[in-house]
Amino acid sequence: MYDLTHLYLELLEQLPEPQVTLIGVSFGGWIAAEVAAASSHRISRLILADPFGIKISDRERRDIVHLFNTHPETVRQCEWHDPARFAPDFNTWDDDALVRYARGRESLCVYGWQPYMHNPQLPRWLKRIAVPTLVLWGASDRIVFPDYGRAYAALIPGARFALIEAAGHHPEVEQPEVFVDHVLGFICE
C-alpha cells in the first residue's frame, strides 16, 4: 500500500491543476484516504464512499467480510441492496472482461491480503487530513457496515458522514443520482 500511495502522490504532483477533488470508492477509498493522510496540499476536497482501510474492532471480530474466503453468493448478497438488479452476471461476460475482473481481484489480494483490507497505522494518520471530507455509505452495505463508516469519519477532523438509502457497498451504482447529488452538493458549497 505504501508504494501504491506514493505512486498516486507522484501522479497528483504531475497534474496541471494546483488542487483536485479526490474521490475514492471501496478499495479506491482506502487509497484516497492514504493519499490524503500522507499529503493533502494538492487536494481541495476528499470524498470517500464505503472505503476499506481501518480496523475498528478487536482482533477476534471481522470488520470487513472476507471477499476471498466467503461463498460468492454470500458476498453478492452482502455487497448489493438489490443483487438481482445490480450484481454482475459473470455468465454473460466475455473472456476479456472475466480476465480483467480476475486481474483486479488478484491485485486486491496483493494490496489487501495481509493484514486483511486495512493498514494498522492508518487510523492514527487520518487526523492529518486537513481538507473538507465527506464519507458516503450505502445504508445496506453488509461488506462493511455503516457503523464502520461512522467510525472512519470520526477519525478525520471535521469529516461529514452521510448514508445513502437503498444502496449497498456501491452506492455510486445503485443510487447514482443520489450519489451525484451528495458529491455536487459537497463540492459546490
In the prediction, which pLDDT does 84 show? 94
Q: What is the pLDDT along the chain (189 residues), one digit of tens a residue?
A: 899 999 999 999 999 999 999 999 999 999 999 999 999 999 999 999 999 999 999 888 899 999 999 999 999 999 999 999 999 999 999 999 999 999 999 999 999 988 999 999 999 999 999 999 999 999 999 999 999 999 999 999 999 999 999 999 999 999 999 999 999 999 998
Q: Identity (one letter) of the amino acid at 166?
A: A
Q: What is the largest CA-CA distance in the chain?
A: 46
29 within 8 A of 49, measured Cβ to Cβ: yes
48 within 8 A of 148, measured Cβ to Cβ: no
* Distance set, CA 166 to CA 1, 103, 145, 170 (Å): 31, 29, 14, 10
In the prediction, which pLDDT does 60 show? 86
CATH 3.30.499.10 fits 2-188, yes or no: no
What are the φ/ψ torsions at residue 133 (nearest 5 degrees)? -130, 135
> Which cell goes with 95?
473472456
In the prediction, which pLDDT does 59 show? 84
In the prediction, which pLDDT does 149 show? 97
What are the φ/ψ torsions at residue 177 (nearest 5 degrees)? -65, -45
In the prediction, which pLDDT does 45 show? 98
In the prediction, which pLDDT does 71 show? 94
In the prediction, which pLDDT does 85 show? 94
In the prediction, which pLDDT does 189 show? 85
3-state secondary structure (DSSP) of residue 181? helix
In the chain, DSSP finds a helix count (H) and a strand count (E) of: 9, 4
